[in-house]
Chain A
Amino acid sequence: MIFAMRASLFITCYNDTLYPETGRAVVALLERLGVQLDFHPKQTCCGQMHANTGFRGEAYSQAKRFVQLYRDTETVVVPSSSCVAMIRDQYPGLFEELGNEKLRNDFAALVPRVFELSEFLIDQLGVDDVGAYFPHRVVYHASCHGVRALHLGERPYRLLAKVRGLSLATLPNVERCCGFGGTFSVKNAEVSSAMMAAKLQDVVSTGAEYCTALDNSCLMHLGGAMHRQYAAMKTIHLAQILAATESCPVEALA
């Protein structure tokens, strides 16, 4: 299970700041699989927060920055499906409106090489058994961008199915939004919280120990509520589950 492949990690701004353990898990996981990882020290943000709040010019500068940083990179891996959705679905419109020919061409050449983590594992490395061990009951929250923008489909479930010791619970209303929505969670805090309450009811009903996802943003929202409500459940990014092995459990990576 050794792949000779180079990839560059785009960690995303909020993972860098708030969830570095997710980044460390991606490094452990991919290096274990033989991927040679780079990290561009000048990376900051994909621009999603600005784009989704209506700050189009600002989103454009960040999008342009991303393309300029990564245009000569072989493969970019991103452990956040909403940021990949931003790059795939919103960059074209921004560059169409505000960019020039050169930027559009660079982007067109780069975008087929940008992958969400589960896409990278399944489609690029062709692996669903990453040799992980995680002896816990887990429920998977399929975030909206993973389901409806990236169409990840069975990919995360295939990865979870091969994790030794893991028992996967079925989440009712799995395709319903958790209510995070970026700045929506603050601009419409009450509605966001009502949506979160509905999602939490479904998540907690599974009796799982961990709720996992491919977006730490949803997990920050759900995990924050679980902590507030003293729920007997924790959140964990899928990368951390996949990185865990018998000799190196999740606690050692945290």
Chain B
Amino acid sequence: MTQPAPSHVILDPRFAPPFPQGALNVLRNPQLRKNVAHAIDVIQSKRGKLVAEKTDWQELRTAASALRAHVLENLDTYLEEFEARCTAAGGQVHWAADAAQARQIILGLLRQEGAREVIKIKTMTSAEIQLNPFLEAHGIKTYETDLAEIILQLGDEEPSHIVVPALHVNRAQVREIFARRMGLEHLSDDPQALTAAARTYLRQKFLTIPTAISGANFLVAETGAVAVVESEGNGRMCLTLPRAMITLAGIEKVLPRFDDLEVMLQLLARSATGERMNPYTSLWTGITPGDGPQRFHVVLLDNGRSAMLRRPVERQTLKCIRCAACMNACPVYRQTGGHAYGSVYPGPIGAILTPQLMHLHHAQTLPYASSLCGACYEVCPVKINIPQVLLELRAQVTNQERHQVARFLDPMYLGLCVANLLFARAWRFHLAQRLGRIGIRLFTRKDGWIHSLPGIGGKWTQTRDLRGFPGQTFHEWWAARDKEAK
């Protein structure tokens, strides 16, 4: 099914270029790469120090991993429990099977409120369902209140990270965006001046817009509470001033008990921003007369999650608590930033989550956007074995290829099929080695090195030489030595 690309700038896996091409666009942007690497290195070193001071870090990871796995095993029970508690506390729970349904539910609720404008707490799930362009198209203006999200919204930029979405933008660029969009010609790039400008902009929104949308870091089944953690307090403003609140949450966000937050919150802040605790942790349960929003809705989003739940290896993707430690640790992300992934979820978690959300109809190059170095698995606070899921998805992508005619034009595909035949019998492998040794001489220079290869080999030699093949393989040497000994 082909659809025209949306005019609004958004990371949409259906229209994004394949990862290698997306990455190339970024690799050609030295300023962006510098901004990303600098930001990542700062977060990584903060995280490293705070994880090192926690002597029970591995025990915490084990506990969190077991807890999240348990939730996924019993997701139906905990979601129903959450719905019952939330409803009892005055909230209203809605179930959305996919992105389109979630957008319609939210639009309906906003119309019920008579809302023309809405303020938003930072939520990745709303970016996943592309809520903002949808609402704008239906005449409802959206205002992000997270500082980084404001920068992106005003600058018409795309998020490149799930926790610090504007990490690819530096201070001078922020100044330029604010000056242009807020009409502040003489704004300086001093952090205090930039913060003051954002505060003035935000206060006016907080005081005039009575409807808000949030995401959720956690849902607590036992109490029906919703939890949001943040650094700036702007989310707290959205939770306090508006009359109506709509929370959009993926179905996997639920935790069984209130006490489970103890484990999760210790891991989340350290993993995400390298802080012992995030500055603001807000928890709310239904409505409280005379205090905060008086109408409260929770939209529970499936959007491909139940399909993931059914598959034993991929299921662990849903353990994710969106801390972004994997992308901060990822040497690929460090080079490319988030935009190359063509999805609101970049980095290693995006490389496994996005193709699954797309039911593998799009984003098939993402499972290959990894050197399988394992750094993501090592830092994941809930122990998602990302390399294992990447390999599982690669196998599925290869199985798709097996039915496509185009596979006969893919040198990598053909090469691997031939290699498989060669490796099946030692004599075939040895014959291929001998033929290869002769053939490669054509490309080997006098210095004994190969500087340029045709076809797919050119991908190697564009930045690397290859030493010419030695005149004798190891097994030939061994056989000759054996003979001599006898």
When the two chains form the complex, which single residue of A41, A185, A194, A227 contacts B460, counting CB atoms closer than 8 Å? A185
Q: A17-B436, A18-B467, A193-B464 are contacts. A58–B375 as well, Cβ < 8 Å?
A: no
Give Cα distance in the complex from A179 to B433, angstroms.
Answer: 26
Q: Which residue of A lies closest to B335 (CB)?
A: A194
Q: How far is the CA of A44 from the CA of B431 in the complex (A)?
A: 12
Q: Which of A175-200 contact B (CB under 8 A)?
A: 175-177, 179-196, 198
Which stretch, A45-53, A109-117, A121-129, A152-160, touches the partner chain B?
A45-53
Chain B residue nearest in CB terms to A39: B478
Question: B475 touching A148 by the CB < 8 A rule?
Answer: no
Contact between A61 and B424, CB atoms less than 8 A apart: yes
- B357: which A residues are within 8 A, CB to CB? none
B99 at the interface (CB under 8 A from A): no
Alpha-carbon gap, A208 to B419, bound state (A): 37
Q: Does the CB pair A181–B373 fall under 8 Å?
A: yes
Q: Is there an interface contact between B459 and A227, defined as CB atoms closer than 8 Å? A: no
B331→A177 contact, CB < 8 A: yes
Q: Is the CB of B474 within 8 A of A11?
A: yes
Stretch at the interface among B20-28, B133-141, B182-190: B20-28
A33 at the interface (CB under 8 A from B): no
A191 touching B20, Cβ below 8 Å:
yes
A24 at interface by CB-CB < 8 Å? yes
Q: Say yes or no for B377: interface residue by CB 8 A criterion.
A: yes
In the complex, whether B472 has a CB less than 8 A from a CB of chain A is yes
Residues of A in contact (CB 8 Å), total 67
Q: Is the CB of B429 within 8 A of A13?
A: yes
- In the docked arrangement, what's the CA distance between A17 and B55, Å? 47
Contact count A vs B, C-beta below 8 Å: 194
- What's the Cα separation between A198 and B333 when bound, in Å? 13
- Flag whether B301 is at the interface (Cβ < 8 A): no
Instruction: Point out the residues of chain A lying under 8 angstroms from B394, CB to CB.
Output: 52-54
Residues on the A chain within 8 Å of B23, using CB: 188, 190-191
A119–B425 Cα distance when bound, in Å, is: 29
How many Å lie between the Cα of A44 and that of B477 in the bound state? 16
B370 at the interface (CB under 8 A from A): yes
| Majority DSSP secondary structure for residues of A touching B | helix
Docked-complex contact B372 and A52, CB < 8 angstroms: yes
Interface size range on B against A = 35 or more
Say yes or no: is B52 at the interface (Cβ < 8 Å to chain A).
Answer: no
Q: Which residues of A contact B462 (CB under 8 A)?
A: 189, 193
At the interface, yes or no: A170 with Cβ under 8 Å from chain B? no
Stretch of A133-141, A216-224, A242-250 contacting B (4+ beta carbons < 8 Å): A216-224
Query: Closest B-chain residue to A180, C-beta based?
Result: B371
**B residues 75-114 with Cβ under 8 Å of A?**
none
In the assembled complex, the Cα of A62 lies from the Cα of B428 at a distance in Å of: 14
Taking a contact as CB atoms closer than 8 A, the residue among A13, A145, A175, A228 that contacts B464 in the complex is A228
Let me know if A62 and B423 touch, CB within 8 A.
Answer: yes
Instruction: A20 to B451: give the CA distance in the assembly, Å.
Output: 21
Minimal Cβ-Cβ distance residue in A for B336: A191
Q: Within the assembled complex, what's the spacing in Å between the Cα atoms of A224 and B449?
A: 9
> Which residues of B does A touch, CB under 8 Å?
19-20, 23-24, 27, 331-332, 334-336, 367-375, 377-378, 388, 391, 393-399, 412, 416-417, 419-420, 422-426, 429, 433, 436, 449, 451, 456, 459-460, 462-467, 469-470, 472-479
Give 9 nearest A-B pairs by CB, closest first.
A181-B371, A54-B394, A224-B464, A54-B398, A177-B373, A23-B474, A20-B474, A144-B373, A148-B374
Q: Which A residues lie at the B interface, using CB under 8 A?
A: 11, 13, 15-24, 27, 39, 41-45, 47, 49-56, 58, 61-62, 65, 90, 93, 144-145, 148-149, 175-177, 179-196, 198, 220-221, 223-225, 227-228
20 additional contacts (CB under 8 A) given A44-B423, A198-B331: A11-B474, A18-B470, A19-B474, A20-B474, A45-B423, A50-B416, A54-B396, A56-B395, A148-B375, A148-B378, A175-B375, A181-B370, A181-B371, A188-B20, A190-B20, A191-B20, A191-B27, A193-B464, A221-B464, A224-B465
